[in-house]
Amino acid sequence: MTNSSSSASPTPATSSSPSGSDRLGLTLKLLGWAILGLLPLYAWTVSTAPIDSVQGMMQKILYVHPPLAYGAYLGFVATAIAGGLFLWQGREVHDQLAIAGAEVGTLFCTLMLITGPIWARGAWGPGNWWVWDARLTLTLLLWFVYLAYMLLRSFTEGDERAARFSSIYGILGVVLIPLNYWIIDLVGGAMHPDNLEFEEESSSLGVGMGLPFFVGNLTLFFVFIYLLVLRWRVGMLRTEAERAEFDSRRI
Amino acid sequence: MGPVRLRGTSIEKRYGRVAALRGIDFEIAPGEAVALLGANGAGKSSLLKILAGLSKPSHGQFGAFVDGGTPPLDRSSLRAAVGYVGHATLLYGELSARENLDFAARLYGQRANQERIDQVLEDFALANVADRRADTFSRGMAQRLAIARAVIHRPGLLLLDEPFTGLDELSAERLSEQLGRLRSEERDAEANGGTPSLVVVTHDPRRATELADRAILLHHGIIRATPSKQHAEEFTADALRSMLGEFAREASHAA
Amino acid sequence: MNVAWALLWKDLATEWRSRDRIVAMTVFSFLIIVVFQFAWPNMEPEQIAQLAPGILWVTYVFAAVIGLGRTFSTELENDAMTALALAPGNRGWIFLGKATATWVLITAVQAMAGLVFALFFRVDLTIGLSGTATIVALANVAICSVGTLLSAMSVRSRFREVLLPVLLIPTLIPVLAAAVTGTTATVAGEALALTTLQPLIVIGGIYFILCFLLFDFVLDE
């Protein structure tokens, strides 16, 4: 690769991104309208859904909590794929996507960690803010990987090196997620037999709870994609602006 | 390996907002000695990393060739052809001089060739301290060992990255002599198939004129001048210094 | 491959002459064991038996973190890292050499720490020793693989002492979980089952291959 580092892509990453960010802008608009349409439906279905006979109002958090998982996991998948592309091609657009995936993913992961205990307390009674159930444990472990990723990025000097190192960690992290899942499944039973429950919450939904759950999934999935693309676009626009400013200053 | 020819066409290196190199063209002939001059942040070390096969340009074409061959070396073969001397010694203090050289040779995939190691130790006047640990060496001895380490695999391209940083005047003088001698050794030239090409990065115009036949003056990632020995009046330490001063003044005006 | 041997020899030779890492790791692991002793002063033998695998593995992991933090410090001293980056060929072999040297050091320290642990806590580690040793050896493959890769990155970052454990420990959770479960079984005298080894082999294998391939990018500039 000594020769022709860029013969495949003669246009610089910078000059290709204005049109790229235009396309992203359009995507954002479409997603925005879709979300605006879905939100009232989401609110309506959740509020009219029957109140759970055992858990009461607290059960409604389940219309928020599991759908957040999409963002939490997809965020990291986006980060890892973008990281792989960056290592392969060295283009900044991919690194910007990796950043977007990590930041939006962290947000969703954090919200999951907040809503989880609220539901746990409601379901299992006072004092049960935290239980080591499989889903919550996995989310916590994922959150630590996100945290490590962010720290690595901010503690590494040099933009390109930071991008390279975080790409590597992103790939490592995405491999870790299924390993954690597998291990908790494997040894979890021996660790905390009482608190581990692996069945999906959705499978235990009563009549009339399916629709709001479905709409919630759809809405929050769209919100995730929207935020991801938004963050990606902001990152690219900022780089362009900073670049223009740098070039005008130092000729 | 034979001497390396280097060619770059509109090379750019930038990441984020920072542009280290902004479209530079150069050609370095086999066996030629070139100095890269410029202030801090001019793009010298970014260019050197590309020449060493450690970094890829963001845009533009870069190729390194040996023996007039047309397919350029891939990055791994380029690294195999490079001998590198930095301002740090790249040595392991716990290892003896001989062990350091042996390890370096193995990094280049060469089985410990005792004959070559003995020869290099002899060349750099280190034969009598060959089995002493490198961390007991004086600054001068360590510097000699560092050069010996860089040439153990008979490189076709010598890259010197600010080798004089942190040296006092006398040591710098000696180092300059040793580096100059490095390329005049005829026996080596024969074994290597020619004098290795040399690129020295420095901010000291005097050292540049001592070691190189011509200079590439970088300023903010652009080549601003390429004075050479053929025009003796512009290839003096004073002339180079005043050119660099000129760039710095322009920059402060622009700011 | 020769490069891997050269690095293994070089790392073990420099370590033998300075003994920096091995001393630091050994002292540190002894201290952790003593701290645990004071954390639970009056434990009944049955309680000890229950907690022992956990205590042992916490000791092992923290000692490994200390050792891994120093893996690339010899390379930084005179910027020998640049020499490694300039070496031609697949840099995976450099990774293999460094990871193997670390494996040897960490395993040696763990053997000593295990001995001290057995003495202080009066745990009979000879029960199922070969099984425990196999678990330790396999878990160390995973620990040294990720550890070497992450150490090469963190050593060139700010706050490297903090960054390495923050990066490393999350990746070691599945290893730790599998190793503790396995060790609990072996010290209780159970035969080493394939189901205990399987996760360690799989995780170690995945980590090793992944880190071997990714290491190339760590040394680029």
Arithmetic mean of pLDDT, B197-207: 90
| Residue range B76-109, pLDDT digits in tens | 899 999 999 988 999 999 999 999 999 999 999 8
Interchain CB distance below 8 Å, B49 and C221: yes
The residue of chain C nearest to residue B46, with distances taken between CA atoms, is C221
Domain match, A87 and A26 both: no
Quick one: what percent of chain C has pLDDT higher than 90?
Answer: 70
Most confident residue range from A31-35, A140-144, B222-226, C99-103:
C99-103
- For residues A30 and A77, state if they share a domain: no
8 Å CB contact of B104 and C82: no
Q: What is the pLDDT of residue A119?
A: 75
Give chain A's length: 251
Q: Which residues of B touch A96 (CB under 8 A)?
A: none
Identify the sign of the CA torsion A199, A205, A211, A212. negative
Q: Does A83 map to a domain?
A: yes
Q: Does the pLDDT of residue B53 top 60, yes or no?
A: yes
**DSSP letters spanning C144-167:** HHHHHHHHHHHTTBTTHHHHHHHH
ipTM over 0.90: yes
Long-range contacts of A241-244 (CB under 8 A, 24+ apart): A242/B16, A242/B17, A243/A14, A243/B14, A243/B16, A243/B17, A243/B19
Higher pLDDT, A113 or C103: C103
Q: Enumerate the β-bridge partners of residue B8.
A: B26, B62
Residue with tokens 């890892």: A80
Of the candidates C163, C169, C218, the beta carbon closest to that of A152 is on C163
Q: Is the same domain home to A96 and A31?
A: no
CA atoms within 13 A on the CB side of A124: 15
Handedness of CA A199, A201, A205, A208 (dihedral sign): negative
**E strands in A1-158:** none
Do B106 and C74 count as a contact with CB atoms less than 8 A apart?
A: no
Q: A223 in a domain, yes or no?
A: yes
The verdict on A179 and A215 lying in the same domain is: no
Question: Residue C9: which domain range?
Answer: 2-220
In the prediction, which pLDDT does A11 show?
A: 37
Residue B185 confidence (pLDDT): 66
Query: Per the structure, how many domains does chain A have?
Result: 2
Residues A33 and A84 in one domain: no
Helices and strands counted in chain C (H then E): 9, 0
Residue A2 has pLDDT above 50, yes or no: no
**pLDDT value at A212 more than 90:** no
Q: Give the C-alpha separation, B158 to B85, whole Å.
A: 8
* Mean pLDDT over each residue of chain C, to the nearest integer: 92
Q: Is the pLDDT of residue C187 over 80?
A: yes
- Interface contact C86-B76, CB threshold 8 A: no
Looking at the predicted structure, is the pLDDT value of residue A149 above 80? yes
**Residues on chain C touching B54 (C-beta within 8 angstroms):** 85-86, 220-221
**Are A175 and A129 members of one domain?**
yes
Question: Each residue of C184-201: b (16+ CB within 10 Å) or e?
Answer: bbbbeeeebeeebbebbe
Q: Which residue has the higher pLDDT, C158 or C208?
A: C208
pTM of the model: 0.89
- Whether A39 and A68 share a structural domain: no
Range of A160's domain? 64-191
How many CA atoms are closer than 13 Å to the CA of A205, on its beta-carbon side? 19
Residue-wise pLDDT for B54-79, tens only, equals 888 988 999 999 877 778 889 889 99
Query: Which chain C residue's Cα is nearest to A181?
Result: C174
Number of helical H runs and strand E runs in chain A: 6, 0
pLDDT at position A10 is: 37
Alpha carbon of C12: minimum distance to chain B alpha carbons (Å): 11
Both A100 and A153 in one domain: the answer is yes
With contacts defined as CB-CB under 8 Å, which chain C residues touch A157?
Answer: 156-158
Does A103 share its domain with A140?
Answer: yes
- Tell me how crowded residue A29 is: count the other CB atoms within 10 A of its CB: 10
Whole-angstrom distance, CA of residue B208 vs CA of residue B230: 15
CA distance B24 to B6: 13
Question: pLDDT at position B187, please?
Answer: 57
Q: Which of B51, B54, B67, B57 is nearest to B14 (CA)?
A: B57
Sheet (strand B157-161) strand order: B82-85, B157-161, B197-202, B33-37, B214-219, B222-225
Q: Is C170 close to A141, i.e. CB distance below 8 A?
A: yes
The total of other beta-carbon atoms located within 10 Å of residue B201's CB is 25
**CA dihedral angle for residue B164, residue B167, residue B171, residue B176, rounded to 10 degrees:** 0
B49, B54, B56, B59, best to mutate vs chain A, most A CBs in 10 Å: B59
CB contact under 8 A, A2 and B64: yes
Check whether residue A174 and residue A226 sit in a common domain: no
Task: Give me the number of domains chain C comprises.
Answer: 1
